[in-house]
Structure 1
Amino acid sequence: MRWTLKSKPNIEVIHKLSLDLGIDKVLSELLVQRGVTTFDEAKCFFRPSLDNLHNPYLMKDMDLAVARIKKAIENNENILVYGDYDVDGTTAVSLMSSYLKEEYENVATYIPDRYKEGYGVSFQGIDFAHDNGFSLIIALDCGIKAIDKVAYASTKEIDFIICDHHKPGKEIPKATAILNPKREDCKYPYKELCGCGVGFKLIQALGKENNKTIEDFTPYLDLVATAIAADIVPITGENRILTYFGLEVINTSPRNGIKAIIHQTNKKELTITDVVFTIAPRINAAGRMKHGNFAVDLLTQFDFDSAIEVASTIEKFNADRKELDAKITQEALLQIEENNEQDEFTSVVYNETWHKGVIGIVASRLIETYYRPTLVFTKSGDKLAASARSVKGFDVYNALEECSEFIEQFGGHKYAAGLTLLPEQYENFKNKFEEVVSRTIQKELLTPEISIDAELELSEITTKFYRILKQMGPFGPQNMKPVFLSPSVRDNGYGKQVGADKSHLKLNIIYGADKKTYGAIGFGLGNKIEKVKNNFDIVYNLDENTWNGNTSIQLVLKDLK
């Protein structure tokens, strides 16, 4: 692991903020790193408010979208709410359809089949709309690149409203309205909304027309927070506010579908981490293993007992998904070894039998072993489909753009993308991708980095320090849980390997003249037991550990040297 200590922000600003807020200088430093430099900014940061959400009408085309939906309702038109099959898409479809159905009954939902139709807007979906008398499609978390599909829909007299957050191409579809903060001509102040977040802004705008206040939309925030957490968008600005209140809804009055998932896990109070690793994978499993409709069905249930039934079915999908991605990961690792590709700059693997629903997860798993940009291909109809994942600091989307001569279709983000190509182009693409990455990647990016926020004396870790630290959440991209460095610490001599396979490290770190101790756990660090015989440096997060009814602050080790 490569340890990188962030450069210290302006000392005078840190000192003044520390005095103004009456907090430790290390906490003040963490705030300044996150762009919080004044008392008023700190107040907004520590006390998120729904009143600080932006006016939805600041988004380009919002007035056109609202006008078209109002016209559809006035004219008794059929509206089809269309979305991608992942968490962001299915939560967005659930949010939009639930809201519209509160006041209008001619609304249906459509999630494309991952295997028959692939990602995004499909010709099959448009034909379904035409055959069933839909004259308006609201597309969520997809559509920004569906130029030919939207043109096809217009020949069938079907209008499109697109709510997307993916990077637009040079040309955008000729839709009735395109809501996307990443449009170059969109002046919306916050650019990092997820697809469900854009959908939320649309229902917020529709509600303004009916004199609804922001409090009327709070019940939808469990969906928005789940999408933000799952889609790995920055938890800053507006996203942080939506996540903060969304977590409150999840923990106090979640919709029946989310309540049913929580019911199966025996969790008492969910954190953002629980949403990422407990709720999101189960919602995702529907689209991966069977069909995204199961997820929408779960998230729009009025009856809790029915939600429990759907959640049980999805739980089975999730168990199958885990088994499958473990098997395929082993096969992919073997392929890399057999092809002697351990020292390449990229991992590109292919097997026509691999399940399309888990190749994205497998790509992430491969990065845990070979830390480099990775693509996992499988057969999809008469083409090959792949999921791409990247390493911190490297834009895989830009790398794919350089390989576009061999690609049929692609889309995505800096760190995750999807693409299709013809089978005969696989080797050409693979060679080109390796060449592009080897030429453009900074070599240090091929070693995993631990970004350290601040150096910390163990004696500074007090109950008050930890309480304030917790209030800096919810944590996530661009507001990660702080990582601290404490140099030259000692174990009390009882450090040991724990876990069924002895893969974890449990220590008691001594500090101070009176030899106080902090419990420390290092997941996956069991092989470093020999390094704790003498003094050593640690990097870690802080967390709470409850054992036998007692709660204490614990160091969660990320690495030690």
Structure 2
Amino acid sequence: MQKRWTFKPTPDKATVDQLSAGLGIGPVLSQLLLHRGIQTYDEAKFFFRPILEHLHDPFLMAGMEQAIERIDKAIAQNEKILIYGDYDVDGTTSVALTYSFFSKRYDQLAYYIPDRYKEGYGISTQGIDFAKENGFTLIIALDCGIKSVDKVAYANTLGVDFIICDHHLPGDELPDAVALLDPKRPGCDYPYKELSGCGIGFKLIQAYAQAHDIPFEEVTQYLDLVAISIACDIVHIDGENRVLAHYGLQRINTEPCIGVKALMGVAKKGSSEYTISDVVFLLGPRINAAGRIDDAKQAVELLISCHDDEANTLGALINTKNLERKEHDLNITGDALSMIDESQIMIDRKSTVVYREDWHKGVIGIVASRLTEKYYRPTIVLTRSNGHVAGSARSVVGFDLYEALCDCSDLLIQFGGHKYAAGLTMKPENVTAFADRFEEVVSATIPPELLIPEILIDAELELKQIDPKFFRILQQFAPFGPENMSPIFLSRGVQVKGLATLVGGAHLKVTIDQQGSPIFDCIAFGQAEHLDKINSGQPFDICYSIEENVWRDKRSIQLNIRGIRFSEQ
């Protein structure tokens, strides 16, 4: 697929030179820092040397004092407390963290995860009824609740109080909860706005520990869970999240909790350390698979486990669910690709809407992401669920999917989400009309360039500049993620050494140099179409990220090629 190569704006040379002189680094590295808003020595020190002392006082968050007071009252009066969270990675890690911390100090405690298919996302009436029927008078809701105005009002009529710990944008009206912890709510002056749901849970236990003189080490032992939530919920990895992710990854790689350790055992990564990317692709899908295929409570049971045997059994069970999830994913993706490839009408469209009533609802979001990657256009995958048609939608960079769904709202029962991902429900008889309307809206509003994937390039680099010092400093930019993505470089006129080969049928393995530079091994995923031209010996340009490759305990620098261009292109 053809891609757009776009350079990030080049900072002013005088600013680059000044930062380079102050830090004793080259201009390319200074340019990377400036792209991240880092302009001074002190800001660079904060970036490169995150410390736990950089974490903000949790009581700066609006509602925190009320939350701690209500928890103290519940414990003093021996009330039953229910820890409530969603069925995805952020929700289950939030529940595991909060339950694990408080269960060591109080025994009138339980947790609740809603059923993905019977209750859906967020706080449910069934969950509130469960609390009432079982004598719970306080619910601590994590990663959800900031828009649950009606549900909280219902709970209030039953004498069930809510503490809401959420990180999503609130609506026009706030729920009438005892405490609302959400940095994005109006009137909250908390300095960092992009915490994950589990991050809000972490601030809650940090505040409780602070108020009760509990050693901070009893809070930081849960940072492995926070790092998993940050990685898998794709929140910003800057500011406070960078500190949490940095120390959370350290915890994962040195002293993970028993449940995470069991999960790492079934993931079988090998000897190298876990990165944010490894967490996203190896741990996240397994945690999610519990709720997609069966019951997300199994993920919480694993993450709160205190015994190796129990954790290993649960880890093996969840791994089996993940294998089942992969099979559904593979089959549904194959079905969807066939539908599109066999229809010229669908091929020519600027959007994708596919529907089959027997597809597994738990994986349609994953399939929507795969189809978006394949065809690079706004995509919706639909299936039958509880008498209606339910769908997952994914967008391309720059196109507001939620706004497009607003223009189709008369054909929908309900929908929700944000710019790049959403869920929706409709009547079965509206599927064809919806697909046509969605295509009309997308065709009328999407600029043509947004249908071409973009590679955003940080800087041009000569291969000879990639020396051990450069790579050592570049590694300190990690952990990578939104707002701090792994830098992409452009090098021109590189040439193959020997012959490029195919691995896995679709991926290029190639060794290159550039006008007498050191030789670098490269991998180019999904770019097999360039094999013959590369092997013809003609020079080509590449854009790439720089990685460390570990093979049989040997470490080397590897270039991960994101795009290849020849002179005629």
Q: TM-score range by the shorter chain?
A: over 0.9
Match of 2:428 among 414, 423, 432: 423
Matched, 1:507 2:514: no
Q: Which sits farther off after the overlay, 242-251 or 148-157?
A: 148-157
Counterpart amino acid of 1:350?
Y
CA contact (8 A) 1:167 1:412 kept: no
Q: Which residue does 1:106 correspond to in 2? A: 108
Q: How many Å separate the matches in 1 of 2:141 and 2:432?
A: 35
Counterpart amino acid of 1:317?
K
Q: Deviations over 1:85-144 (max 9, x none)?
A: 000000001011111111111110100111111111111111111110111111111112
Q: Which residue does 1:545 correspond to in 2? A: 549
Q: Which sits farther off after the overlay, 463-472 or 178-187?
A: 178-187
Q: Which residue does 1:283 correspond to in 2? A: 287
Q: How many Å separate the matches in 2 of 1:100 and 1:549?
A: 41
* Cα distance, 1:338 vs structure 2: 4.6
Q: How many Å separate the matches in 2 of 1:282 and 1:257?
A: 12
* Cα distance, 1:507 vs structure 2: 1.8
Pairing 1:254-403 to 2, within 5 Å after superposition: 254-264=256-266, 265-268=268-271, 269-339=273-343, 340-403=345-408
Q: Secondary structure at the match of 1:349?
A: strand
Q: Which residue does 1:475 correspond to in 2? A: 480
Q: Secondary structure at the match of 1:154?
A: helix
Pairing 1:516-555 to 2, within 5 Å after superposition: 516-532=518-534, 533-547=537-551, 550-555=554-559
CA contact (8 A) 1:489 1:509 kept: yes
* Cα distance, 1:30 vs structure 2: 0.4
Q: How many Å separate the matches in 1 of 2:195 and 2:127?
A: 25
TM-score, scaled relative to structure 1: 0.96
Q: How many Å separate the matches in 2 of 1:312 and 1:518?
A: 39
Q: Which residue does 1:132 correspond to in 2? A: 134
Pairing 1:139-150 to 2, within 5 Å after superposition: 139-150=141-152
CA contact (8 A) 2:541 2:564 kept: yes
Count of aligned pairs: 558
Q: How many Å separate the matches in 2 of 1:17 and 1:526?
A: 41
Match of 1:118 among 117, 120, 137: 120
Pairing 1:182-201 to 2, within 5 Å after superposition: 182-201=184-203
* Cα distance, 1:172 vs structure 2: 2.4
Q: Secondary structure at the match of 1:342?
A: helix
* Cα distance, 1:267 vs structure 2: 2.8
* Cα distance, 1:75 vs structure 2: 1.2
CA contact (8 A) 1:91 1:296 kept: yes
Q: Which residue does 2:170 correspond to in 1? A: 168
Q: Which residue does 1:211 correspond to in 2? A: 213
Q: Which residue does 2:449 correspond to in 1? A: 444
Q: How many Å separate the matches in 2 of 1:327 and 1:111?
A: 28
Q: Deviations over 1:54-83 (max 9, x none)?
A: 121222222222211111111111111111
Q: Which residue does 1:464 correspond to in 2? A: 469
CA contact (8 A) 2:63 2:181 kept: yes
Q: Which sits farther off after the overlay, 295-304 or 206-215?
A: 206-215
Q: Which residue does 1:6 correspond to in 2? A: 8
Counterpart amino acid of 1:322?
K
Counterpart amino acid of 1:504?
H
Unmatched runs of 5 consecutive residues or more in structure 1: none
CA RMSD of aligned residues (A): 1.6
Counterpart amino acid of 1:281?
P
Q: Secondary structure at the match of 2:347?
A: coil
Q: How many Å separate the matches in 2 of 1:335 and 1:548?
A: 43
Match of 1:97 among 93, 96, 99: 99
* Cα distance, 1:557 vs structure 2: 0.8
CA contact (8 A) 2:503 2:509 kept: no
* Cα distance, 1:497 vs structure 2: 2.1
Q: How many Å separate the matches in 2 of 1:184 and 1:425?
A: 38
Counterpart amino acid of 2:419?
K
* Cα distance, 1:216 vs structure 2: 3.1
Counterpart amino acid of 1:3?
W
Q: Deviations over 1:455-507 (max 9, x none)?
A: 00111000010000000000011100011000111112x22222242x22122
CA 1:399/1:58 → structure 2, altered by over 3 Å: closer, same or farther? farther
Counterpart amino acid of 1:284?
N
Q: How many Å separate the matches in 1 of 2:441 and 2:463?
A: 45
Q: How many Å separate the matches in 2 of 1:70 and 1:431?
A: 55
Matched, 1:34 2:36: yes
Unmatched runs of 5 consecutive residues or more in structure 2: none
Q: How many Å separate the matches in 1 of 2:501 and 2:100?
A: 50
Q: Secondary structure at the match of 1:516?
A: coil
CA contact (8 A) 1:495 1:529 kept: no
* Cα distance, 1:384 vs structure 2: 2.2
Q: Which sits farther off after the overlay, 140-149 or 283-292?
A: 140-149
CA 1:73/1:428 → structure 2, altered by over 3 Å: closer, same or farther? farther
* Cα distance, 1:548 vs structure 2: 5.6
Q: How many Å separate the matches in 2 of 1:436 and 1:187?
A: 38
Q: How many Å separate the matches in 2 of 1:97 and 1:436?
A: 45
Match of 1:433 among 431, 438, 441: 438
Q: Deviations over 1:381-438 (max 9, x none)?
A: 1222221211112232333344334333333333222222333443444344333333
Q: Which residue does 1:491 correspond to in 2? A: 496
Q: Deviations over 1:155-192 (max 9, x none)?
A: 21111111111222222222222211222332222111
Counterpart amino acid of 1:524?
G
Q: How many Å separate the matches in 2 of 1:550 and 1:353?
A: 47
Q: Secondary structure at the match of 1:286?
A: helix
Counterpart amino acid of 1:308?
N
Counterpart amino acid of 2:301?
D
Counterpart amino acid of 1:17?
L
TM-score, scaled relative to structure 2: 0.95
CA contact (8 A) 2:399 2:419 kept: yes
Q: How many Å separate the matches in 2 of 1:546 and 1:196?
A: 31
Q: Which sits farther off after the overlay, 132-141 or 290-299?
A: 132-141
CA contact (8 A) 2:500 2:511 kept: no
Q: How many Å separate the matches in 2 of 1:74 and 1:425?
A: 54
